[in-house]
Chains A and B, each alone.
Chain A
Amino acid sequence: MAAEIYEKLITSDKVDLLFSPFGTPNHFAVVPILERYKFPMVGSSAASVRLRELKPGNIWFPTSAFPDRMAVAIVQLLQAQNYKTAAILTVQLPFALELKKFLIPALDQAGIKVVAAADYPADIKDMTATLTTIKQAAPAAVIGLTFPADSLLYMQEAREIGITAPFQMLSVGPTYSFFQKRFGANANGIVMMGHWSPHQTAWPKAKPFFDAYVAKFHERPEYFDSALAYMSAEITTQAVARVGLDHDKLRQDISTQTFDTINGPVRFDGVENVTTPTMLMQLQDGEAQIVWPKPAASAPFKPKGAWAD
């Protein structure tokens, strides 16, 4: 469906610019259309090593959460905490599966033993049996390569079953505004993907964006996808301001220039943002803090505490 919509926007509606759809599968779908019509578009909530390897010339990903780089960051954080065992939960969606493909060898190489692993469909309604198996395996780290709905399922059932691993990660979900409201103090200690935080003072545009978003929508922005969507718009706007709407000039500008965003400076090499480090975040006292890598951290990592009754 995304491909048809974007093709119609280009050929029938004859738009000057395109903003990206949501998620890796939709980005995958529109890349051939962008290539066919040589229409440059800055992506947002997506990243794929497979796409990077195809070297498309009309899409760029502002995220630094590419699966291969994210796998390395997760392993580095576990090593820094001296955790030796891990369990992996993977939702059967392209980004999570690609991340798992890089994570398992990276864990193996680091000497971190995978004591339990399970994949599950995106529409799963109960994880009791899977989480019971994980509890029995008693890993130091539970790495959930999740999306929002299964993140919520994990939280409610991990608490019931009593999973006490000091490292519990849910890749996509905890950065959504609903997560904090839903779980309160129990959400503290959960690690997630993300590389933007209003608490990082090195990025002068970060806090004003947060404040403006809250003023407009009366809730916090989603720290991963909302930030990426805004960055995508910032990059497009700055490129247009410099070179206008000519697609060849836009492609050249986006490929070579450095952009000033809410996530700090962004520059692309191929499709990839090469200035923003791959980061991990953690909910601490209700706030999403960057905890890895250390030079970019807004707070140190804290082991997940006990679940509240």
Chain B
Amino acid sequence: MNSILTVQLLVAALVLGALYSLIALGLNLIYGTMRLLNVAHGEVVMLGGYIAYGMSTQLGLNTAYALIPSMFVAALLGFATYEVVFRPLLKKEQLLARVEANSLIIFFGVSIALQNIAALAFTASPKSYRYLDQMVTIGGASFAAYRLFALGVAGAACVGCMLFFRFSRTGLAIRALLQQRTASALVGIEADRINRVVFALGFAMAGLAGCLVSLTEPISPFGGFSFTISAFVVIILGGLGNLLGSLLGGLILGAIEVYGVALTSSNWRSIIVYSVFVVMLLWRPQGLFTRRTT
């Protein structure tokens, strides 16, 4: 048991969990407000990684300066995706009923397009770069500084988002849409404007996460899918449309992966993660942090 209670494992679980939380928050935000399942979310993460890689290696800039551009470019992509693809769909009465199912196919197409654009632009070879490579000692355990940087930024972004949803006017409007889409229109919330913000914000979070992921993993055009899958597991854990649930679900998934492997072996990692996923769907399909509605 002593080998489980180490600072090394705790920080590893926190870093992984914080990245999962940030990625899942964006996915859940779009699903929660519009019931659109973005299977291209991992490709937006990958896009953020390429922006960080490009700014670091081509422009020679500190990766910290890539955080905002990664978010901005991803937000623009989200805005464009909403305006060009989903806004027209949501306007048509006969398509509205099928929009949830159609969104899967549309986002699947977006995913394939983004993968191949990235392969054409950057080649299919994995890319990586060095940033904050020095070691830092905490509680007798050593960590590369970039991992702590990723933890700090992802944590701050998650907390910032939660504060935005709780205290800002737009954030409150987003939560209203999450809870009661029809009723929110009755109190004057302009759904179209909020949808636009939600797409931009959801994609921006994925872009930011990609910038941070590029510090810990090589970036490749086809590497985004595993993040989409992990984000799905997180939102099933935390609850579809439950933003705080996504945050906590990410931390739980990080802990399940790191401590699950520590208690068994890495052979069991996928079995443990996907067993939890299936059990959650059967036992609490509404998620751990959402009350069951009658």
Contact = CB atoms under 8 A, between A and B. Distances in A.
Interface of A: 22, 118-121, 123-130, 132, 136, 148-149, 152-153, 156-157, 159-162, 176-179, 181-184, 217, 222, 309
Interface stretch (B79-87, B122-130, B286-294): B122-130
A309 B134 contact: yes
B223 A149 contact: yes
Interface in B240-273: 257-259, 261-262, 265-267, 269-270
B128 A181 contact: yes
A181 B130 contact: yes
Nearest to B230: A125
Contacts, number: 106
Contacts of A120: 266-267, 269
B267 A125 contact: no
Nearest to B258: A126
Given A121-B269, A126-B12, A126-B261, 16 more contacts: A123-B229, A124-B266, A128-B8, A129-B262, A130-B261, A132-B9, A148-B126, A148-B220, A149-B220, A152-B218, A153-B216, A156-B147, A181-B129, A182-B129, A183-B130, A309-B135
A217 B122 CA distance: 11
Nearest to B226: A123
B217 interface: yes
Nearest to A178: B128
A216 to B, nearest CB: 12
29 contacts: A118-B266, A118-B267, A120-B266, A121-B270, A125-B230, A126-B13, A126-B15, A126-B261, A129-B9, A129-B258, A129-B262, A132-B3, A132-B8, A149-B217, A156-B144, A159-B135, A159-B142, A159-B144, A160-B135, A160-B141, A160-B142, A160-B143, A176-B125, A178-B126, A178-B129, A179-B128, A181-B57, A184-B130, A184-B133
Contacts of B16: 125-126
Nearest to A118: B266
Given A121-B269, A222-B125, A126 B218 contact: no
Contact of A127 (B57, B127, B266): B266
Interface size range on B against A: 35 or more
B142 A162 contact: yes
Given A132-B8, A156-B216, A176-B125, A125 B266 contact: no
A130 B142 contact: no
A172 B270 CA distance: 22
A132 to B, nearest CB: 7
A183 B144 CA distance: 12
B149 to A, nearest CB: 13
10 closest residue pairs by CB, A with B: A129-B262, A120-B266, A123-B226, A128-B12, A182-B128, A178-B128, A129-B261, A121-B270, A130-B266, A118-B266
A126 B257 contact: yes
B218 A149 contact: yes
Contacts of A181: 57, 128-130
